[in-house]
């Protein structure tokens, strides 16, 4: 089992939008970054991840599950081979975790979210995942 982090501007695609999709989930399309794509290609069905609101809020708001492994992004053009995965909402973080808490936490300050702010789909270690769940007062 591996853990991940999906970043989105809430004005574009929010946690509420994601939750509205329910069990059906939604393709994480439009990723145009090789590192993010490579991360998606490593994802397995059943892996868990966080849903992060970037920009104004800067909060980890929920937990998602990968429900479909990588396939061709239908927004890719021509010979592009951009990939996407499907994710569904699993749980709210009872207490959303903000970026400042993450930066100040000794176990979290090395997260890719902190070190590589611009990466839209990042990996999270098991320890980081569990630490954030604890900060968020949430059990899965």
Q: Which residues make up the interface to DNA (CB under 7 A)?
A: 7, 9, 32-35, 54-55, 58, 99-100, 103, 115-120
How far is CA 61 from its chain centroid? 10
Residue 104: which residues within 8 A CB-CB, separation 6 or more? none
Task: Give min distance, CB of 101 to DNA, in A.
Answer: 11
Structure tokens at 108: 């979290």
Nearer to DNA, 39 or 131 (CB): 39
- Name the residue nearer to DNA (CB basis): 22 or 117: 117
Shortest separation between residue 7's beta carbon and DNA, angstroms: 5
With respect to DNA, which residue has the nearer C-beta, 5 or 85?
5
The least distance separating DNA from the CB of residue 34, rounded to whole angstroms, comes to 5
Q: Which is nearer to DNA, 16 or 116 (CB)?
A: 116
Alpha-carbon span 39 to 66, nearest angstrom: 12
We find the least distance from the C-beta atom of residue 36 to DNA, in angstroms, to be 9
> Closest by alpha carbon to 109, among 117, 94, 90?
117
Locate all alpha helices (DSSP H) within 5-49, ordered by sequence.
15-20, 34-42
């Amino acid at each position: 089992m591996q853990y991940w982090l999906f970043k989105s501007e809430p004005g574009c695609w929010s946690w509420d939008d994601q939750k509205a999709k329910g069990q059906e989930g939604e393709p994480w399309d439009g990723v145009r970054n090789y590192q993010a794509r490579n991360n998606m290609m490593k994802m397995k069905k059943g892996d868990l991840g966080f849903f992060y609101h970037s920009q104004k809020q800067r909060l980890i708001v929920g937990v998602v599950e990968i429900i479909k492994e990588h396939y061709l992004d239908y927004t890719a053009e021509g010979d592009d081979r951009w990939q996407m995965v499907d994710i569904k909402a699993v749980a709210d973080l009872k207490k959303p975790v903000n970026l400042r808490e993450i930066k100040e936490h000794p176990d979290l300050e090395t997260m890719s979210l902190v070190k590589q702010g611009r990466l839209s789909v990042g990996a999270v270690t098991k320890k980081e995942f569990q630490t954030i769940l604890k900060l968020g007062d949430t059990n899965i």
